[in-house]
Amino acid sequence: MLLGIDTGGTFTDFVFHDGKSTRIHKVLSTPSSPETAILQGIKELDLSRQGLRIIHGSTVATNAVLEGKGARVAYISNRGLKDVLTIGRQARRELYNLQPEAVPPPVAAELCLETGGRLSATGEIIEPLTDYDMEQLLQEINRLKPQAIAINLLFSYLDDRFEKQLADTMPDDIFVTRSSNILPEQKEYERGITTWLNAYVGPLMQGYLGHLATELAPAKLAVMRSSGQTCEAGQAGMEAVHLLLSGPAGGLSGIRYIGQLCNEPRLLTFDMGGTSTDVALIEDEIALTSQGCIGGYPVAVPMVNMHTIGAGGGSIARVDAGGALLVGPASAGADPGPACYGQGGKQPTITDANLVLGRLPRFTRLGGSMSLDFAAARQSLAGLMKPLGLSTVEDVAEGIIRVANEHMAQALRLISVQRGIDPREFVLGAFGGAGGLHMCALAAELGITKAIAPIHAGVLSALGMLVAPPGRQLSKTLGKIISECSHKSVVAVIDALAENARSSMLAEGADTRDLDYVPSVDLCYRGQAFTLNVPWEGLDKSEAAFHRQHEALYGHQLDSPVELVNVRLGVSGASLDLVLADFANTSAASDAEYSDVFAIDRPVPVWQRQQLGSGQSLDGPVIIMDAISTVYVDKNWCCRVDRAGNLLLEYDV
């Protein structure tokens, strides 16, 4: 028995699968205590915890970074290098601002410590780590009393002996992270920030996951990683930096699974929840990046390659000093939520606008139970009429939706057009509770003629956790000109990474007999600061693939020598062979209800998804609802229900 749980900013989602059937559920999130909503949902689902395996996607680590509520961390580096995290890359956030607001450093100066144990770029010892160094460090640690320690010594990815020696000497009650363990790669700043982030959120995640595992016992708890793979909760707490995109990674896993069911492997994905919208691109496999960014900090561990904007159902609309309408990134969240939730919210949001426009019918019950306050939604929008010079509340609502759609279209262009990819060659996969309300407008904006509104769209991230494989993403810097490397030396690094992954997964009780290994290499021209990742197919073939990819992206190749910077290995176990039951009409025969949709001159039919049957087709405009999501099929679009209950939309030219 499997239960996927995704904790979002507004709702906590549940998908339960017992091997035969699937049940879904939603409860409002409890941001100050995420486990409260989780325990409430399990109780309402009336699930036995005996024999239950839970896969959880959490925003706890992400929120700690964004809100600056992590642990007190002491940062240990070699002498002369304690200011690396403070100096950073000297990249200005506001290029033309001559008086930028000072940004506090990640680690306060008093918590940045220096010691010996310095290596050269080729691994020779320049300065040893002495007993005196260790004594001085321990005295400073005892004085500062940090909750966690981040150790980042120069070139430790070549030889980790000094980092291990330091870690073994630290007090047992302090969370310790080594850069040579969390990210054995070059680039001192990125490695240091990643190590610090792991230490910053590690104690919090260890405590949260440990407490949650105890509360959920005897159920077994696993966690979704930012790479779209899962691992057991105990290991996840030690590698907390791998959880920063835990929830969104579940959504990509879910929409990829749905795309495979629909025989559509090339997807532009669009996940619109209550607080934010995540967009990504899938070509057969979920794309990963090691150049991600959270809260302005570079995160160099592999994570799903997506772009996030502050535009969700709860995004607040306002008018700035110049009279322009702005939407987001501030959100009404779960408490009090949009005005239409009837929980005391007064500010206008995207959800209120959709309700006023009739695209979200007045009789909607969010999550299957929450009724909406139409009068409160209108009242919240009415306050913007005068500042915008508009005569009706509907015009205000239409303006809010147009602005929000443009934000989301720009995000989709960023991950497609700006990377040289034609979005018209892809299918738009829209999910999240609010995604189906905007999918037709966004598809039309990008020239896309096909879209998918998946079954269980409002809880797809939780569904994705059930079909995500256990796995690891490992790396090691080699840093040599490719002509100076031997095939044998690269294979030796790959084999070492594979053994590391096997032993780690075996310790969790995973079945390691049928692991899938995907090696790749990061290459660049000598002197370049950034790399391109290509599959490992041998030195010559990988180098040729790099030249082709460089030309495709930048329009040229160079005659410079090619450097093999990092060796990477993706390791995946077997994922659940989940089969969704055939979708059948589960509702007694009844006529459609109707909604008055703004700018359409006739009432628009509203169908409950369970009223429809597999193979049934509907022409827009039409609204299709279920307990957790709403799909607005615009005019000139037609919609067909497939075997699993997914809605396949196509533009009728």
CATH node for 70-205: 3.40.50
Q: Is 186 exposed, middle or buried (0-12, 13-18, 19+ CB in 10 A)?
A: middle
Dihedral-angle region of residue 328 (phi above 0 means left; psi in -120 to 50 means alpha; beta otherwise): left
Q: What is the mean pLDDT of residues 450-468?
A: 91
Q: What is the mean pLDDT of residues 416-441?
A: 90
Tokens representing 153?
A: 């010594």
Query: Are the C-beta atoms of 193 and 216 separated by less than 8 Å?
Result: no
Using alpha carbons only, what angle is made at residue 287 by residues 282 and 292, rounded to the nearest 5 degrees?
A: 130
Q: What is the mean pLDDT of residues 187-197?
A: 94
Q: What is the rounded CA–CA span in Å between residue 490 and residue 486?
A: 7
Segments of the chain assigned to CATH 3.40.50: 70-205
Question: Is the predicted pLDDT of residue 433 greater than 90, yes or no?
Answer: no
How confident is residue 258, by pLDDT bands cut at 50, 70 and 90? very high
How confident is residue 63, by pLDDT bands cut at 50, 70 and 90? confident
Q: What is the rounded CA–CA span in Å between residue 575 and residue 579?
A: 12
* Tokens 């990249």 belong to residue: 91
Q: Which amino acid is at 526?
A: R
Tokens representing 322?
A: 């110049």
Closest to 370 measured CA to CA, from 391, 331, 390, 342: 342
How confident is residue 241, by pLDDT bands cut at 50, 70 and 90? very high
* Averaged pLDDT score across all residues of the chain: 90
* Tokens 């979005």 belong to residue: 423
Q: What is the mean pLDDT of residues 545-565?
A: 92
Question: Is the predicted pLDDT of residue 369 greater than 70, yes or no?
Answer: no
Q: What is the rounded CA–CA span in Å between residue 573 and residue 575?
A: 6
* Predicted pLDDT of residue 493: 94
Tokens representing 121?
A: 């770029």
Question: Is the predicted pLDDT of residue 130 greater than 90, yes or no?
Answer: yes
Residue 364, SS3? coil
* Predicted pLDDT of residue 311: 80
Q: What is the rounded CA–CA span in Å between residue 67 and residue 60?
A: 10
* Predicted pLDDT of residue 179: 95
Tokens representing 35?
A: 């486990």
Query: Are the C-beta atoms of 91 and 529 separated by less than 8 Å?
Result: no
How confident is residue 368, by pLDDT bands cut at 50, 70 and 90? low
Q: What is the DSSP letter of 484?
A: G
pTM of the model: 0.88
Question: Is the predicted pLDDT of residue 589 greater than 80, yes or no?
Answer: no
Neighbours of 63 (CB within 10 A): 18
Q: Diameter of the chain by CA atoms?
A: 83
* Predicted pLDDT of residue 553: 84
Question: Is the predicted pLDDT of residue 53 greater than 60, yes or no?
Answer: yes
What CATH architecture does domain 471-572 belong to?
2-Layer Sandwich (3.30)
Q: What is the mean pLDDT of residues 267-278?
A: 86
Q: What is the mean pLDDT of residues 99-125?
A: 92
Question: Is the predicted pLDDT of residue 434 greater than 90, yes or no?
Answer: no
Q: What is the rounded CA–CA span in Å between residue 271 and residue 277?
A: 5
* Predicted pLDDT of residue 590: 66
b/e map 602-629, b = 16+ CB within 10 Å: eebbbbbbbbbeeeeebebbbbbbbbbb
Give every CB contact of residue 228 below 8 A, 6+ residues apart in sequence: 249, 250, 252, 253, 286, 288, 304, 468
**Helical pair 460-467 and 246-261, crossing angle rounded to 10 deg:** 80
Cis peptide before 338 (omega within 30 of 0): no
Q: What is the mean pLDDT of residues 631-641?
A: 93
Query: Are the C-beta atoms of 618 and 639 separated by less than 8 Å?
Result: yes
How confident is residue 588, by pLDDT bands cut at 50, 70 and 90? low
* Tokens 């990988």 belong to residue: 542
- Residue-wise pLDDT for 308-351, tens only, equals 887 888 889 999 888 889 988 888 876 788 898 888 888 999 99
- Find the helix or strand (DSSP H, E) in which 143 lies: helix 131-144
- Find the helix or strand (DSSP H, E) in which 385 lies: helix 385-388
Closest to 78 measured CA to CA, from 116, 24, 34: 116
* Tokens 């096909």 belong to residue: 450
CA of 273: how far to CAs of 9, 141, 578, in Å? Answer: 8, 43, 24
Question: Is the predicted pLDDT of residue 147 greater than 90, yes or no?
Answer: yes
Closest to 81 measured CA to CA, from 138, 151, 24, 134: 151
Dihedral-angle region of residue 447 (phi above 0 means left; psi in -120 to 50 means alpha; beta otherwise): left
Residue 431, SS3? strand
Report the percent of the chain where pLDDT is more than 90: 60
Report the percent of the chain where pLDDT is more than 70: 98
Q: What is the mean pLDDT of residues 529-558?
A: 92
Q: H-type helices in 145-187, by residue range?
A: 161-169, 179-182
Q: Which amino acid is at 306?
A: M
Report which of residues 306 and 576 the model is more confident about. 306
